[in-house]
Amino acid sequence: MIADSIYIQDGPLYTSAGVTAGIDLALKMIEDDHGRNLSIQIARKLLVFLRRPGGQSQFSAHLAAQIATEDRIQELQHWILDHVDEDLTLNALGNRVGMSVRNLSRVFLKETGETPADFVEQARVDAARRLLEENDLPLQRIASHSGFSNPDIIRRAFMRRIHISPNEYRKRFRA
C-alpha cells in the first residue's frame, strides 16, 4: 500500500485519491491506451497539468503550513516557504523562533506530525517543482534557488518525495 499516492494500479484494478486525482488517473489510462499525444491534448482542453505520476505524494508544504496551531510554528512554516534558499538548519530555525533545537524539534513534530527537516525538504521540492515547470534554468541553478546545495541532493529529494527525477518532472510538467 502506498499511503499518499494520488492513484494506484493493482493488476486490473485502479483507484484514485479523489476527484482531481481521478482526472490524473483517466489521463494515464488514455495515455496507456491511445498514446501520450492524445493524453496531452485532452489535458490541455481540460486546463489541467499534464498527467501527474501516480506515485506522486498528495502532500503540499503550503497546505501543511495551515495545520499548526502554535503561532511560532505556523509563522516559522510560512517563513520557511518564503525563504527556501536560506540556511534552514535546526540551529538557524531555532534561533529564528527563540527555541532550543530540542524544543523546536519536539513542538514542531507535535504540531505538524513531521520533523522540521521533512518540512524543509518538502518546501524545497515544491519550490524546485515550480521552477522546473516555469523555466529552462539548468538543474544546478534550480537546486541553488530552491535551497539544495547541488544537483545530486535535489535528485535524491525528488526520488524520495515524488518518485521521479527533476529532469523527468520537467519533461512531464513543463508548460
Lowest mean pLDDT among 45-59, 91-105, 152-166: 45-59
pLDDT reported for residue 164: 92
pLDDT band at 36 (very low <50, low <70, confident <90, very high): confident
Provide the CATH topology of domain 59-175: Arc Repressor Mutant, subunit A (1.10.10)
pLDDT > 70 in the chain, percent = 82
110 pLDDT above the threshold of 50: yes
Q: Which helix (H) or strand (E) holds 121?
A: helix 116-134
Grade residue 116 by pLDDT with cuts at 50, 70 and 90: very high
Provide the pLDDT for residue 151.
Answer: 96
Q: Hey, CA dihedral for 122, 128, 131, 132, is it positive or negative? A: negative
* pTM of the full structure: 0.67
Residue found by looking up cell 529529494 in the block: 157
Least confident stretch, 50-59, 91-100, 119-128: 50-59
Q: How confident is the model at residue 1 (pLDDT cuts 50, 70, 90)?
A: very low
Using the CB atoms, write b or e for 90-108: b if 16+ within 10 Å: beebbebbebeeeebbebb
pLDDT for residue 166 is more than 80? yes
Residue 63 in this model has a pLDDT that exceeds 60: no
Distance separating alpha carbons of residues 110 and 139, to the nearest angstrom = 35
Residue-level pLDDT at 61: 62
**Cα–chain-centroid distance for residue 3?**
15
For the segment 37-47, the average pLDDT, to the nearest whole number, is 72
Residue ranges per domain, the chain? 1-58, 59-175
User: pLDDT confidence of 58, banded at 50, 70, 90?
Assistant: very low
Rounded distance, CA 80 to CA 99, Å?
A: 16
Q: CA 17 to CA 4: how far, in whole Å?
A: 8
pLDDT surpasses 70 at 60: no
Over residues 110-135, mean pLDDT: 93
Which of 112, 50, 110, 57 shows the shortest CA–CA distance to 81? 112
